[in-house]
Amino acid sequence: MSDFDASAECVALLKRLIAFDTTSERSNLPLIHFVRDFLAEQGIEATLIPSACGEKANLYATIGPLDRPGIMLSGHTDTVPVTGQTWSSDPYCLTARGQRLYGRGTADMKGFLAAVLAAVPAMAHAELTAPIHLAFSHDEEVGCVGVRSLLAAMQRYRVRPAACVVGEPTSMRLATAHKGKLAGRIEVKGKACHSGLAPEGINAIQQAAPLIQWFADTAAVKAEFGPFDTRFAIPYTTLQLGIITGGTALNIVPAQCRFDFEVRNVPDEDPDRLLAPLEAEVSRLDTDLRARHPEAGATLTWLGDYPGLAMAEQGELVDVILALLADPGRERIGFGTEAGLFQQELGIPTLVCGPGSMAQGHQPDEYVTREQLGRCEAFLARLTEALGDPGAVARLDRACAAQAPAVP
């Protein structure tokens, strides 16, 4: 039996959060308004940063003194869809079976949001020497795009957080690094004709083939020569093609071939530099094809990107957080988060730690355990206590200053 168990308040809040269908294609405003009103009941004012379309928003709030940096707790409100998945229960109705709490987003990452909200009353009544900031974003699941407007707003803030904890599911073990991601699409247009007259057409699939081979060749080079980062289970940059379409019938020379690709780069590798030869090759092919036929060509479109996270594994800030976690364990995460953006765009030293496991995230019958939520609540209680201790805050400020990254 574990010594940790989720509070009734945390489970009730998780139930409310799960009931909001915040799939990335939908609005997150009902959930954001619920959080705003919940905070208002505790005397905490929240700022909403709307999306360009006005149908979504980020939320930012500060608990405690406004003139000190403090710690930011960050999480995204959107979830992946349940389309095509077979669930044993309603994914938008929290279902308890033993220690497990099932529902879409329980692990990724409404469990963390629920634990934070459950801790808010204690935070609001604490005599905090340094503040706790809450940052809840939208559209993380589609490339960390929603948080960009929050970052822009925070650039203008006179006082920014000294450090950030992103509560993605790590089984409440500390993660100091994750890979970056860059995704793109290449489309090659040729000239269709009957396959019996193949030389009179331009086969878009054949024209695309060298570009496709480039990914396989480059991936092999990365696997052999790196650069390497042993913090990751796969310690080098990976490249892969995820979707490819082309052609209409076997007896028609294909006029179109399109494929989507992604790069998952270790923090020390610049994906733009890595892909520069590919961009040059696409440009060369485009020029060649347009010379052969006015409607032919090749294009490269970027679909999204976010940077990797690269915090030192050793240091006073890491020691402080590990002490609050009461767990010296580390986690290697193979997925991306918003942490690298906070680190690189705002210069805020950022760590990743939250309840649940990504092994359950995005899956049918997604769940988080009561024990994991309880561990998160215990961490938040210790954090609140530490931020009320002037000595602990002074140590935290020194630790954050020592590990603050340079902002380009």
Catalytic residue annotation? 78, 140
Q: Tell the residue number behind the tokens 């959080």, with chain if given.
A: 35
Euclidean distance between CA atoms 51 and 336, whole angstroms: 22
Instruction: Find out whether 83 and 144 touch, Cβ atoms under 8 Å.
Output: no
Instruction: Find out whether 271 and 305 touch, Cβ atoms under 8 Å.
Output: yes
Paired with 241 in beta bridges are 261
Label residues 148-186 b or e (16+ Cβ within 10 Å = b): bbbbeebeeeeebbbbbbbbbbbbbbbbbbbbbbbbbeb
The pair of structure tokens assigned to 363 is 């899956």
Phi-psi region of 14 (alpha: psi -120 to 50; beta: other; left: phi over 0): alpha
Instruction: Find out whether 106 and 164 touch, Cβ atoms under 8 Å.
Output: no
The pair of structure tokens assigned to 169 is 């599911």
Phi-psi region of 57 (alpha: psi -120 to 50; beta: other; left: phi over 0): beta
Paired with 246 in beta bridges are 257
